Chains A and B, each alone.
Chain A
Amino acid sequence: MSAPAAVFWQKNPALAWREIDDETIIISPNDSVMHELNDTGSFLWKNIDGRKSAAELAELLVENYEVTPEIALSDTEALLQEMSSRKLVVAVPATSGVSP
């Protein structure tokens, strides 16, 4: 398996979102589509700030939920891919904390 690309994840700045009842509602104004995240997805969403990789986000998941590191990383990568395909998040080059 090839090494994962050195990327951080950030929220699409064109979106509007709101947490309510431990879930997150995300609105995409350009196409008027509504997305929902459950509590785990909401936790990751809150921590997606353009300065963390999938591995770092998975570590936070391990610290806050009863989940093994392997499953946390697998779930985080799957969710990021799903959110990326829906244009909710974008990958940016990891410009700090990563060796060239």
Chain B
Amino acid sequence: MSAPLANSGRGPRQQFELSIGCVALRLEMSDAQLFDAASARYAAFTGAAAQPVTIALNEGAAPEGPPADFDYEFEGAALRVFSNGIRFDGVRHQYALDSLLRVLLSWKLLGHCGFLLHAATVIRSGKAYLFTGRSGAGKSTVASLAPEGSVLTDEISLLRRENGAWRAHGTPFWGEFRAAGSNTSAPVGGIFRLQQAAENQATALRPLAMLRALLPNVLFFSADAEANRRLLEILSQAATEISGYNLAFRKNSAFWEVLPS
């Protein structure tokens, strides 16, 4: 999993490769403590089948050359995507690394007809059901009510259109469960917008309503017009092709009974 690289003077550089939603990444860093924490945090997602994109962590001065294709700063940590590599700087702990990985992934998924969604994903009868909504809507409750081993994530779901069909992938980005995510995927059976209610009831959404439901819950961090156009194109396709529902949700396990089969 890890291999020492050339000594940069700040301790041996180590690397590990991970794959999230089939997006292959290689992290290189000199901070042994951060390396250990990251290795443990992403243990279920290590290994990259495809050619990974290299991310250099805290490597000091940025290389000379053209400006970054995409950059983002979060609480002192900075992400910069260059044509020849990616830099994460000012990363002092695993949580900052985790945040920048989410930002990076939201950007990289544009090239894979995919996106990140604030949603819990549960596998049932071989299909992925996604439950979206803001904090407190019930994502973690859905995850906690689902059978053990069936939850891909309770917080951040990853969707990709592959070979003409939408699949949901597990992510290592978890909320209240604080457990390792499941690095598997399944065809999407439906997306449900959670709304707390006295009774469980599912109501189908037209594509426009589905797009309205998705937009506030999508993770995206670029203000670039072209990137946002591509994102909107992907989301419109998802809203048109994936069955969407409002799920009035009483926060008990009986909600499964009202889901369309």
**Cβ-defined contact, A16 with B206, below 8 A:** no
**In the complex the two chains form, what is the Cα distance from A25 to B232 in whole Å?**
9
The answer, yes or no, to whether A15 is at the interface (CB within 8 Å) is yes
The answer, yes or no, to whether B240 is at the interface (CB within 8 Å) is yes
**Cβ-defined contact, B225 with A16, below 8 A:** yes
B227 surroundings in chain A (CB, below 8 A): 29
- Main SS at interface, chain B: helix
The answer, yes or no, to whether B40 is at the interface (CB within 8 Å) is no
The answer, yes or no, to whether B224 is at the interface (CB within 8 Å) is yes
B222 surroundings in chain A (CB, below 8 A): 29
Question: Given A16-B231, A16-B232, A27-B232, are A21 and B225 neighbors across the interface (CB < 8 Å)?
Answer: no
A15 surroundings in chain B (CB, below 8 A): 225, 228
Give the size category of B's interface with A. Answer: 20 to 34
**Cβ-defined contact, A20 with B211, below 8 A:** yes
A: number of interface residues (CB 8 Å): 14
**In the complex the two chains form, what is the Cα distance from A71 to B223 in whole Å?**
37
The answer, yes or no, to whether A100 is at the interface (CB within 8 Å) is no
Of the candidates B208, B223, B231, B233, which one forms a contact with A21 in the assembled complex, judged by CB atoms under 8 Å apart? B208
**Cβ-defined contact, A17 with B232, below 8 A:** yes
A20 surroundings in chain B (CB, below 8 A): 207-208, 211, 236, 239-240
Of the candidates B211, B224, B225, which one forms a contact with A25 in the assembled complex, judged by CB atoms under 8 Å apart? B211
The answer, yes or no, to whether A23 is at the interface (CB within 8 Å) is yes
The answer, yes or no, to whether B215 is at the interface (CB within 8 Å) is yes
In the complex, what residue of chain B is closest to A25 when comparing beta carbons?
B211
A86 surroundings in chain B (CB, below 8 A): none
The answer, yes or no, to whether A46 is at the interface (CB within 8 Å) is no
Per-residue B-contact encoding for A1-42, CB less than 8 Å = 1, 0 else: 000000000000111111011010101011000100000000
**Cβ-defined contact, B206 with A21, below 8 A:** yes
B208 surroundings in chain A (CB, below 8 A): 20-21, 23, 25
The answer, yes or no, to whether B229 is at the interface (CB within 8 Å) is yes
In the complex, what residue of chain A is closest to B224 when comparing beta carbons?
A29
B229 surroundings in chain A (CB, below 8 A): 16-17
Q: Say how far B116's CB is from chain A's closest CB, in angstroms.
A: 15
**Cβ-defined contact, B225 with A13, below 8 A:** yes
Q: Say how far A91's CB is from chain B's closest CB, in angstroms.
A: 20
**In the complex the two chains form, what is the Cα distance from A21 to B216 in whole Å?**
19
Which A residues fall within an 8 A CB radius of B?
13-18, 20-21, 23, 25, 27, 29-30, 34
Which B residues fall within an 8 A CB radius of A?
206-208, 211-212, 215-216, 222-225, 227-229, 231-233, 235-236, 239-240
11 extra interchain contacts, Cβ-Cβ under 8 A, other than A15-B228, A18-B233, A18-B235?
Answer: A16-B229, A16-B231, A17-B229, A20-B240, A21-B208, A23-B208, A25-B208, A27-B232, A29-B225, A34-B212, A34-B216
What would be 6 A-B contacts, judged by CB atoms less than 8 Å apart?
A17-B232, A20-B207, A20-B239, A20-B240, A27-B228, A29-B227
